[in-house]
Amino acid sequence: MLGLVRISFPKGCMEAMLFNSIEFFLFLPLVTLIYFSLPLQGRRVFLLFASFVFYGFFSVPLSLLLVFSTVLDYSISRYIQNSSHAKKRKAALLASLIGNLGVLAAFKYLDFFSYSLAALLGYHPWPVLNLVLPMGISFYTFQTMSYTIDVYRGDCKARESILDVALYVSFFPQLVAGPIMRGTSLISQFNEYHKPNLERMLSGALLCCWGLLKKVYIADPVGDLVNSAYGTASSPIDPGMFSGWALLLATYGFAVQIYCDFSAYSDIAIGSSRILGIRLMKNFDAPYLSCSIRDFWRRWHISLSTWLRDYLYIPLGGSRISKIRMYVNLTITMLLGGLWHGANWTFVIWGALHGLYLAFERHFQLEDARKSRWGFPGQFIRGVITFHLVCLAWIFFRANSVGQAFEIVSRIATWEPGRGLSIFPVLCLALLLATQLAKQHIHFGERLLHYPTASRWAVYATLALVGVVLLGSPSPEFIYFQF
């Protein structure tokens, strides 16, 4: 029973303004038009208003949590900066952490631990609340915590204007699923007067189109086939009917799906911000080309991995302590990173696996992907091993229960016979398309700026038309919206 607890949005209960919806691609140009028509202070106020409108599509009452986070961290950060008493500063920081993590725990983990204890005790130790999970709460909670911690450390000055902090908490392009930005790099940009720049705006729009193409043409079709083997929480499927080969292909498919889905969200978030003249950090860097797990985490969800490193692993002692303690710290960091993703023991096991991978690499000094005794063949072999270790962990991330995950691993390991899965041709096509999109993303955008004006606008018009067609078809929400 422990593996069956999975918190997600109740379908049909609330409707978010998805990045892959017509509503958002009407909302963004309207916000851009009004934003650039206002003076600096007016822009800041309007951007905050637009961000709350964006979140209000999901839930107006739950948007009050953004207000709570803003007021809490603004007040405490000001107190910390103005206080010279070490114990009072620590107490204020602790109050901020308890406030932020308390809200996150109440909405995301209270029922999870109640169900888990009920499985052990035979009864629920407290009433099950069945609270709706606020959209993006894990992301904006970590972001606001980093601001207060940075003020406490002296890495960032507490802002005098609460509007600065409110924008930092609620900026709509990265509000729901990151990238998780630091106050030192984002808040100052809200105080810069960005002139409309056609090339920058078109570059941002192009990045949004790449993201939309990855989401609709790769992530969603592959995801449908993955669901046919893994099932969903609401429509479980017995993996025992499938062969080990079919389940392995479905796992490869999920690796493709989650990368294309999450990197697509990041592309649209970064592109939308770029249109407004605001820079967000890069969140992915070809993670499946990694030659070690440490290298993978330098390339995958970069904003989260650096957050865990700076605010959890290093404060625990990092690598400056005994080897045993260092291995324990790595495992604790990744365990909590797994739990951050969702209230399910499958996520905890996923995090634990990555923690063990990192500890193993550190013990045998395998984490530096640039070193190999056998040159390119050695790098290739390491890359294949790393990819399959990541896929093994993905099984637990994707499975609907711990039991289902272990059954899938067992059937793949023993190569059990069973029903096939017609995912192989689709998977090959998706990999080919993903590779081509990655290449075009890197090179085409730069080349396009040097095309004749008529050619460039023909490309822009074509991409806009493709976007309209894609937005006219139903598409699932982004995977990371539920975190």
pLDDT at residue 12 above 70?
no
Cis peptide before 179 (omega within 30 of 0): yes
**Contacts for 375 with CB less than 8 Å, ≥ 6 apart:** none
What the block records as the tokens of 111 is 């029922």
pLDDT at residue 168 above 90?
yes
Of 49 and 442, the one with more pLDDT: 49
Of 184 and 483, the one with more pLDDT: 184
Gap between the Cα atoms of 263 and 307, Å rounded: 18
Each residue's pLDDT tens digit, 80-93: 999 888 899 999 99
Each residue's pLDDT tens digit, 399-410: 999 999 999 999
Q: What are phi and psi of 320, to 5 degrees?
A: -90, 5
User: pLDDT value at position 452?
Assistant: 64
Single-letter residue type at 34: I
Of 267 and 120, the one with more pLDDT: 267
CA distances (Å), 456 to each of 32, 72, 265, 274, 465, in order? 21, 47, 25, 19, 14
Of 8-17, 192-201, 336-345, 464-473, the least confident: 8-17
User: pLDDT value at position 454?
Assistant: 60
Single-letter residue type at 303: S
Mean pLDDT of the chain: 83
Report DSSP state, residue 242: B
User: pLDDT value at position 75?
Assistant: 95
Percentage, residues of the chain above pLDDT 90: 45
Enzyme catalytic residues: 341
Mean pLDDT value of segment 322-327: 88
Gap between the Cα atoms of 244 and 395, Å rounded: 13
**Contacts for 30 with CB less than 8 Å, ≥ 6 apart:** none
User: pLDDT value at position 243?
Assistant: 87
Of 244-248, 296-300, 414-418, the least confident: 414-418
Gap between the Cα atoms of 103 and 188, Å rounded: 27
Gap between the Cα atoms of 389 and 386, Å rounded: 5
Mean pLDDT value of segment 410-424: 77
Torsion of CA 74, 79, 80, 82, to 10 degrees: 120
Length of the chain: 483
pLDDT at residue 127 above 80?
no
Q: What is the DSSP string of 406-449?
A: HHHHHHHHTT---B--TTHHHHHHHHHHHHHHHHHHHHHHHHHT
Mean pLDDT value of segment 261-281: 93
Cβ-in-10-Å burial (0-12, 13-18, 19+) of 118 comes to middle
The three-state secondary structure class of 342 is coil
pLDDT at residue 390 above 70?
yes
Q: What are phi and psi of 236, to 5 degrees?
A: -65, 150
Each residue's pLDDT tens digit, 439-480: 555 445 555 556 666 665 566 566 655 655 555 555 677 777
